[in-house]
């Protein structure tokens, strides 16, 4: 019997293939960390990769589509409140776990995780699978990414100043130069480069992924050279896993039942649940490299763990929501909500348009 090709075997695994690439990059940094001139070159390449990523983010984001989405302002404000208010509050509350359960270094990474913006691509994908409001998920994810470029560094300045890798005026200048200015340049040049980016969307996805892998290698390599990994034990990592599982469960419950209390239809609730409960790896890793420097690898570890966890859990939820919506749509009593969900699920063109708005090539 012929063996299935390796890509098909990987696709059957419950682990995101890109996470496997990230783990491989971390292993490479552990075995062969960059030192001396190689470290300087890796740091320079990482800086350029971060600027390129945010230039592409800005060039992909359709301002017109984002402005059109303002009509559903209640939904977007709800998602932003979950991302930049509820998450940070939970992160600050987790301070009681230090140092008995989480060491200060991992807690700083957990708190940073709570500050980064929501995902775009995976929010859209899961909302579509669950037959929710896809258009709302597109706009909500895009708004979150846009707002996060400014709000995440500001929140970091407020809540991380006492943690490792603290926030300073130098960090603020780095954020402006490496993140905000390239993003604005992408927005300004979108008129001329937007169509070219659409035509080469697949190839640029590899550029995005490769850039993030480069950032991860530089960050973890610097951490290895400085010996920061000796600060974390296997038991503490297991504790981190448990804390993040609770964090994800709380946010999924809050977004689903909270949006019901606010009077949103089922299709909108699905979009709020997926956009408001997740965090962006593609946006968070470059920000961590700018904010934390040599300690970026350890600070980004909670985000990498949370990313994989949210993908696995939300994939199961999306299928269950889809089954529940299909069952509800078969009854006459559920006609209003089923019509909304069915319209969203049938909007394949809107889903395809997500490529313009997606912030990064990683499957976030």
What number of residues does the chain have?
364
pTM: 0.73
How high is the pLDDT of residue 300?
84
Helix pair 37-60, 281-292: axis angle to 10 deg: 140
Transcribe 325-347 into DSSP letters: HHHHHTSGGGHHHHHHHHHHHT-
Instruction: Please write the tens of the pLDDT for every residue from 297-314.
Output: 788 889 988 988 998 899
How high is the pLDDT of residue 201?
81
CA atoms within 13 A on the CB side of 252: 17
DSSP 8-state symbol, 364: -
How high is the pLDDT of residue 251?
97
Segments in the chain below pLDDT 50:
1, 6, 9-10, 13, 163-166, 332-364
Query: Exposed, middle or buried, 194 (CB in 10 Å: 0-12/13-18/19+)?
Result: middle
Supply angle C-alpha 92, 95, 98, rounded to 5: 160
């Amino acid at each position: 019997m012929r063996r299935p090709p390796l890509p098909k075997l990987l696709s059957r695994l419950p682990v995101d293939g890109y996470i496997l690439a990230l783990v491989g990059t971390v292993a490479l940094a552990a075995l062969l960390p960059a030192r001396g001139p190689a470290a300087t070159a890796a740091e320079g390449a990482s800086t350029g990769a971060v600027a390129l990523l945010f230039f592409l983010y800005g060039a992909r984001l359709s301002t017109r589509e984002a402005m059109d989405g303002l009509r559903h302002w209640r939904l977007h404000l709800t998602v932003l409140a979950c991302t930049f208010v509820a998450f940070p509050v939970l992160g600050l509350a987790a301070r009681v776990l230090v140092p008995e359960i989480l060491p200060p270094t991992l807690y700083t990474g957990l708190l940073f995780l709570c500050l980064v913006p929501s995902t775009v691509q995976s929010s859209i994908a899961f909302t579509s699978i669950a037959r929710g409001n896809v258009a709302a998920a597109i706009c909500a994810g895009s708004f979150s990414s846009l707002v996060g470029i400014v709000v995440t560094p500001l929140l970091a300045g407020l809540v991380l100043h006492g943690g490792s890798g603290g926030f300073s005026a130098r960090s603020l200048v780095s954020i402006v130069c490496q993140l905000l200015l390239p993003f604005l340049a992408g927005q300004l040049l979108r008129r001329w480069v937007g169509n070219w980016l659409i035509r080469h969307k697949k190839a640029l996805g590899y550029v995005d992924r490769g850039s993030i892998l480069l950032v991860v290698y530089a960050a973890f390599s610097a951490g290895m050279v400085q010996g920061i990994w000796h600060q974390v034990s296997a038991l503490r990592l297991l504790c981190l896993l448990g804390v993040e599982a609770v964090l994800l469960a709380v946010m999924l419950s809050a977004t689903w039942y909270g949006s019901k209390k606010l009077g949103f239809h089922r299709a909108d609730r699905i979009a709020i649940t997926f956009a408001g409960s997740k965090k962006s790896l593609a946006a968070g890793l470059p920000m961590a490299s700018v904010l934390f420097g040599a300690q970026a690898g350890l600070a980004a570890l909670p985000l990498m763990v949370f990313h994989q966890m949210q993908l696995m859990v939300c994939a199961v939820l999306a299928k269950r929501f889809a089954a529940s919506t299909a069952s509800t749509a078969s009854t006459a009593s559920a006609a209003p909500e089923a019509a909304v969900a069915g319209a969203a699920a049938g909007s394949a063109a809107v889903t395809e348009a997500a490529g313009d708005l997606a912030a990064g090539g990683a499957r976030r």
